[in-house]
Structure 1
Amino acid sequence: MTPRVFTAVVNPTAGGSASAATLIPLARALREAGAELVVEYSRGLEHATALARGAADAGHVVLGVGGDGMVGTVGGALAGTDAVLGIVPAGRGNDFARQLGIPSEPSALAELLLRGEPRAVDAIEANGVPVLGSVYAGVDAVANLNANRSRWLRGSASYYVGALRAVAAWKPARYRVTVDGAEHRFRGYTVVAANSGYYGFGRHVAPDASVDDGLLDVVVVKHGPKPLFFAVMRELADGSHVRRDQVEVLRGREVRIELDDPDRVLPYGADGELPGELPVTARVLPGALRVLAP
């Protein structure tokens, strides 16, 4: 078997020094096995997209090194092509890697990258932009915004504190959600269109979601007392929140999330990033991405 050639697209800021700490022993293991590795440092998401496409055009396996934002950007750049993605989890959340069972230990990860077979998984197109894990719009997107702005906290702590601030200021949103043409109207906290079951630093928001079923799991958290949302946050650890009466799970191939209140503005999130404001249309891209995963 001819050794693979890799290009690692690195987010130098993801998780502080986590990218370097993860990549150095991994790079050593890959090179000792006879593989060639090129390391490219991204100046931003657009630059990461260009680096990924250039490496794919050269026939390299493209490694997304960082958190969900970087992995989503690199994977999104490769979606719909024959290129192969490798994931090096080195960020705060690593939720897509968690869904796929990607190992974080360098020797196990190197073995997967060197000898694993590409697996076809679904992606999402959100307002025309490829996304890997999920698209969400509500108090969680506001929490995401708060976490991204945090100067002192990192990882799950930043998200938890951001969520506390978001819930404290939250007023129920009036949603109009259309799933494969069927319209649903409700007041609530959030709507999550999930390809991957995890988001928000390991929270199991869509426990039955599968990355290769050609469907999105649409998790709706309807209105209730604010303590309800804190209870739901605790239950996200094991996915038991879906048993609550205020939580509904829909499934479909195309989801449009809108607000019924023309005077209100809400951001939507995607893979830990905040690409824009509602409305957003998310549709599944079945088997669009080839990734080295168990």
Structure 2
Amino acid sequence: MTGTADAVAREITLFVNPTAGRGRGAQTAQPAAAALRDAGFSVRTVLGVDADDALRRARAAVDEGTGALVAVGGDGLVNLALQAVAGTSTPLGVVAVGTGNDFARALSFPVRDPGAAGRIAAGALLAGRVREVDLGRVGGHWFGGVLASGFDSRVNDRGNRMRLPAGRFKYDLAILAELAAFQPIPYRMRLDDGPEREIAATLVAVGNGTSYGGGMKICADARFDDGLLDVTVVGDCSRATLLRVSPRVYAGTHLSHPKVSTYRAKKITLEAPDITAYVDGEPLGALPLTAECVPGAVRVLVPEG
């Protein structure tokens, strides 16, 4: 029986998004697989016809006792992988080949170097090197990075509806369109079991991790191991102020602006009309919602140091 269990544990599951990073997911799974095989592991690959099918297959691999689930893709695929491994003993590996890769960057993984990421996963498995990482949870859905609501989620909504142009320029146009139409959003916010606050804000971001959108450090002081969510509220500000402050998000220096307020809480409830929440860059659903931090919810295969 032990031999069978050991054999299963030596089998690693690559969870691959073939469309991540404009097709790089399928191409770059192979160097990661080779690195794991060179370390003595057997490797199988999980693909799905859609997200639901892929998640079902990933959960089946976890239930069968795979030694690790290694996500090959961007933040969206990592988010899908979290739905399979959170709350289990199965460790998560990350091979970051998407467009944002915020979760990977926050944990010091190499980006767009699948061979190196595969070697990190293999070395961590052989050494038993895992880090217990907090996750956010909304209902039954887990997230590793940031929950976005407000101006940023409206930009995503608009960009997702636009068929042309392709690529990042589409979202640049969506930003301009949303700026032209923007009005402050009336939120109701409750932190833990405190009083409900009514605020007019541009956006409210809830961070388990620090960043979204490929390096925008909206919750720059967030930590993966403090058992708390960081909340960044950008208040009611003019379009000109928003344009001036936005570039500072990449360095995290926006947090000192007088229109920005920050909080920490184990749980937050948000309510606002006509606002979709996004987690790890993926649409979650309309507000209202309650997000909570679950300490040590996932075991991640991490680099040395």
> Which TM-score applies when normalising by structure 1?
0.92
Q: Report what 1:15 is aligned to.
A: 21
Return 5+ residue gaps in structure 2 as ranges. 1-5
- CA separation in 2, counterparts of 1:159 and 1:124? 26
Q: What secondary structure does 2:142 align onto?
A: strand
- CA separation in 2, counterparts of 1:214 and 1:252? 9
1:272 maps to which of 281, 287, 291? 281
1:282 maps to which of 280, 291, 298? 291
Change (3 A) 1:48 1:106: same
Q: In structure 2, give the amino acid aligned to 1:84.
A: P
Q: What secondary structure does 2:25 align onto?
A: helix
Matched, 1:179 2:191: yes
Q: Count residues in correspondence.
A: 289
Matched, 1:106 2:109: no
Trace 1:119-268 onto structure 2 (pairs within 5 A). Answer: 119-151=131-163, 152-155=165-168, 157-182=169-194, 183-259=196-272, 264-268=273-277
2:59 maps to which of 53, 74, 79? 53
- CA separation in 1, counterparts of 2:71 and 2:280? 13
1:68 maps to which of 70, 75, 85? 75
Is the 2:32–2:116 contact (alpha carbons within 8 Å) kept by the matching residues of 1?
Answer: no
Q: What secondary structure does 1:24 align onto?
A: helix
Is the 1:12–1:42 contact (alpha carbons within 8 Å) kept by the matching residues of 2?
Answer: no
- CA separation in 2, counterparts of 1:226 and 1:4? 55
**Displacement after TM superposition at 1:18 (Å):** 1.4
Change (3 A) 1:103 1:42: same
Matched, 1:38 2:50: no
- CA separation in 2, counterparts of 1:201 and 1:4? 33
Q: What secondary structure does 1:91 align onto?
A: coil
Q: What CA deviation, in whole Å up to 9, does each residue of 1:141-168 have, x standing for no partner?
A: 111223334543325x444333232222
Change (3 A) 1:106 1:14: closer
- CA separation in 2, counterparts of 1:103 and 1:81? 25
Change (3 A) 1:227 1:42: farther
**Percentage of pairs with the same residue:** 36
Q: In structure 2, give the amino acid aligned to 1:51.
A: R
More helix by share: 2
**Displacement after TM superposition at 1:251 (Å):** 0.3
Is the 1:126–1:135 contact (alpha carbons within 8 Å) kept by the matching residues of 2?
Answer: no
**Displacement after TM superposition at 1:275 (Å):** 1.6
- CA separation in 1, counterparts of 2:12 and 2:160? 30
- CA separation in 1, counterparts of 2:175 and 2:27? 29
Q: What secondary structure does 1:233 align onto?
A: helix
Q: What secondary structure does 1:50 align onto?
A: helix
Is the 2:106–2:209 contact (alpha carbons within 8 Å) kept by the matching residues of 1?
Answer: yes
Q: In structure 1, give the amino acid aligned to 2:106.
A: Q
- CA separation in 2, counterparts of 1:252 and 1:243? 19
Is the 1:215–1:253 contact (alpha carbons within 8 Å) kept by the matching residues of 2?
Answer: yes
- CA separation in 1, counterparts of 2:161 and 2:25? 20
Q: What CA deviation, in whole Å up to 9, does each residue of 1:111-167 have, x standing for no partner?
A: 210011121001111133111112121011111223334543325x44433323222
- CA separation in 2, counterparts of 1:292 and 1:158? 35
- CA separation in 2, counterparts of 1:6 and 1:158? 37
Q: Report what 2:3 is aligned to.
A: none
Change (3 A) 1:106 1:64: closer
Larger Rg: 2
- CA separation in 2, counterparts of 1:56 and 1:81? 8
Q: What secondary structure does 2:22 align onto?
A: coil
- CA separation in 2, counterparts of 1:147 and 1:94? 19
